[in-house]
């Protein structure tokens, strides 16, 4: 298959269409508009498919809920402030065990913030995000190719576990162009989930609801969700390692931060410093056992994020004291260079006497 040069936002859109997307609902917000515009140009023309520019983020996520109810692969995308508005709908999707894919191309916050790339929404994404006791699968791609691959995987995971899946990108990943290869062809007509609400034909009528006046019934629903979450953690946790085998210092970073760290690691390796990278791909479920495994050989970790330190809490919990954890981050949409991160790594390396 041939590679095409494409920006990350458009690559997600094309990958979603090839994954059998039937309905996309969105609302304009920078830096993810290319995704919405690609859907308007391409999805709207496909047989059986629908594109709607909604009146709000709240409406868009509730349209996703409606489309998912009747068995369609459905998606919405936004950036940080818009994702806050979608949390109501995500909570309902989680409660009703409905699959959906939600893309967050993060920008600087809090508030309206900036339109520059950021990783400020890690807490919101990995802790559920809305009200109630639930999780979503959260995927953190770090290249345009991985955006495309992960989008296809997101739809499969959503259907398999009946759960909303969040693709946690950022403004840089959305905007930058890289060669990308799409590993699937779009189906003639997108699939319909068989267990969906399709009208009570040949079977008794069905109810999809979240409300119950019986707390014990709701407790059982929560137990059932968390049994499934345990299964997801067991089966679907993914990560990537780069030069960790002999490393004395391991950087833990995801998404665009991991790309920056990787550049720094290559330079430091050329100078003889044994540094490596551990990159969680599923941010929830977090690969904590895999980090704990590495800590048998490495005792020094540097968590690098484009925020003031959010994923570091997961790393510390994973290590449970088995290693020293340092942090470097730039919030607000500021993107450090590989040189800047390299200097932080090298200083830590010498301070800890790892040379």
Partner 1 sequence: MKLIYSRPRSLKRTPFHYCPGCGHSVAHRLICEVIDELRLQDRTIGIPPPGCSVFAYNYFDVDMAESAHGRGAAVATGIKRAYPEITVFTYQGDGDLAGIGTAETIHAANRGENITIIFINNAVYGMTGGQMAPTTLRGMKTTTTPYGRDHVLEGHPIRMSEILAMLDGVAYIERVAVNSPANIRRAKKAISKAFQMQLENRGFSMVEILSPCPTNWKMTPVQAWKWIDVEMTRVFPLGVFKDVTEKNSAD
For binding to partner 1 (CB under 8 A), which residues are involved?
A: 22-23, 25, 50, 52, 54-56, 58-60, 62-72, 74, 88-89, 92, 96, 197-202, 205-211
**174: nearest Cα among 80, 65, 110, 50:** 80
Residue among 92 and 301 whose Cβ is closer to partner 1: 92
Please name every residue paired with 241 in a beta bridge, in sequence order, or none if there are none: 278
DSSP state letter for 186: P
CB atoms closer than 10 angstroms to residue 75: 33
In the complex, least distance from residue 19 CB atom to partner 1, rounded to whole angstroms:
16
Residue 305 CA, distance from chain mean position = 15
**311: nearest Cα among 259, 349, 255, 236:** 255
Residue among 52 and 167 whose Cβ is closer to partner 1: 52
Place of tokens 């559920």: 128
In the complex, least distance from residue 193 CB atom to partner 1, rounded to whole angstroms:
11
Residue among 165 and 348 whose Cβ is closer to partner 1: 165
For the residues of 301-347, what is the DSSP string, one character each?
EEEEESSSSSHHHHHHHHHTTSSEEEEEE--TT----HHHHHHHHHH
Residue among 50 and 325 whose Cβ is closer to partner 1: 50
In the complex, least distance from residue 176 CB atom to partner 1, rounded to whole angstroms:
32
Identify whether the C-beta of residue 331 lies closer than 8 Å to the C-beta of residue 108. Answer: yes
In the complex, least distance from residue 108 CB atom to partner 1, rounded to whole angstroms:
27
In the complex, least distance from residue 33 CB atom to partner 1, rounded to whole angstroms:
20
Residue among 201 and 296 whose Cβ is closer to partner 1: 201
Distance, in Å, from the CA atom of 266 to the CA atom of 262, rounded to the nearest integer, reads 6
In the complex, least distance from residue 294 CB atom to partner 1, rounded to whole angstroms:
42
The two structure tokens encoding residue 225? 């969700």
In the complex, least distance from residue 233 CB atom to partner 1, rounded to whole angstroms:
28
CB atoms closer than 10 angstroms to residue 215: 8
User: CA of 110: how far to CAs of 88, 143, 259, in Å?
Assistant: 19, 25, 24
User: CA of 5: how far to CAs of 11, 182, 279, 306, in Å?
Assistant: 9, 11, 25, 26
- Tell whether omega for the bond before 110 is within 30 degrees of 0, i.e. cis: yes
Give first-to-last CA distance, the chain, whole Å: 45
Residue among 25 and 278 whose Cβ is closer to partner 1: 25
Residue among 202 and 321 whose Cβ is closer to partner 1: 202
Identify whether the C-beta of residue 256 lies closer than 8 Å to the C-beta of residue 305. Answer: no
Residue among 98 and 268 whose Cβ is closer to partner 1: 98
Residue among 136 and 346 whose Cβ is closer to partner 1: 136
In the complex, least distance from residue 198 CB atom to partner 1, rounded to whole angstroms:
7
In the complex, least distance from residue 165 CB atom to partner 1, rounded to whole angstroms:
17
Please name every residue paired with 25 in a beta bridge, in sequence order, or none if there are none: 52
């Amino acid at each position: 298959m041939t590679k095409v040069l494409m920006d990350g936002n458009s690559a997600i859109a094309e990958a979603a269409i090839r994954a059998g997307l039937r309905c996309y609902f969105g609302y304009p917000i920078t830096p993810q508009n290319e995704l919405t515009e690609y859907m308007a140009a391409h999805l709207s023309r496909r047989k059986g498919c629908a594109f709607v520019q909604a009146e709000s983020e709240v409406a868009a996520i509730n349209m996703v809920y409606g489309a998912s109810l009747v068995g369609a692969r459905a998606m919405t995308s936004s950036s940080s402030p818009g994702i806050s508005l979608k949390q109501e709908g995500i909570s309902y999707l989680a409660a009703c065990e409905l699959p959906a894919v939600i893309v967050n191309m993060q920008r600087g916050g809090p508030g309206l913030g900036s339109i520059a790339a950021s990783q400020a929404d890690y807490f919101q994404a990995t802790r559920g995000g809305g009200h109630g006791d639930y999780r979503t699968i959260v995927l953190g791609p770090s290249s345009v190719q991985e955006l495309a691959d992960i989008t296809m995987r997101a739809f499969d995971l959503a259907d398999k576990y009946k759960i909303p899946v969040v693709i946690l990108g950022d403004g840089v990943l959305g905007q930058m162009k890289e060669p990308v290869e799409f590993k699937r062809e779009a189906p003639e007509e997108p699939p319909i989930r068989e267990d969906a609400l399709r009208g009570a034909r040949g079977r008794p009528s069905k109810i999809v609801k979240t409300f119950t006046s019986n707390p014990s019934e709701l407790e059982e629903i929560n137990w059932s969700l968390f049994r499934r979450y345990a299964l997801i953690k067991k089966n679907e946790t993914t990560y990537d390692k780069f030069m960790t085998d002999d490393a004395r210092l391991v950087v833990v970073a995801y998404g665009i931060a991991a790309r920056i760290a990787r550049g720094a690691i290559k330079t430091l390796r050329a100078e003889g410093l044994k540094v490596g990278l551990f990159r969680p791909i599923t941010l929830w479920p977090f690969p904590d056992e895999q980090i704990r495994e590495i800590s048998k050989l490495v005792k020094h970790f540097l968590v690098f994020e484009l925020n003031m330190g959010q994923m570091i809490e997961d790393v510390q919990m994973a290590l449970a004291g088995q290693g020293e954890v340092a942090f470097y981050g730039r919030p607000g949409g500021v993107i450090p260079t590989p040189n800047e991160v390299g200097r932080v790594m090298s200083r830590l390396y010498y301070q800890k006497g790892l040379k």
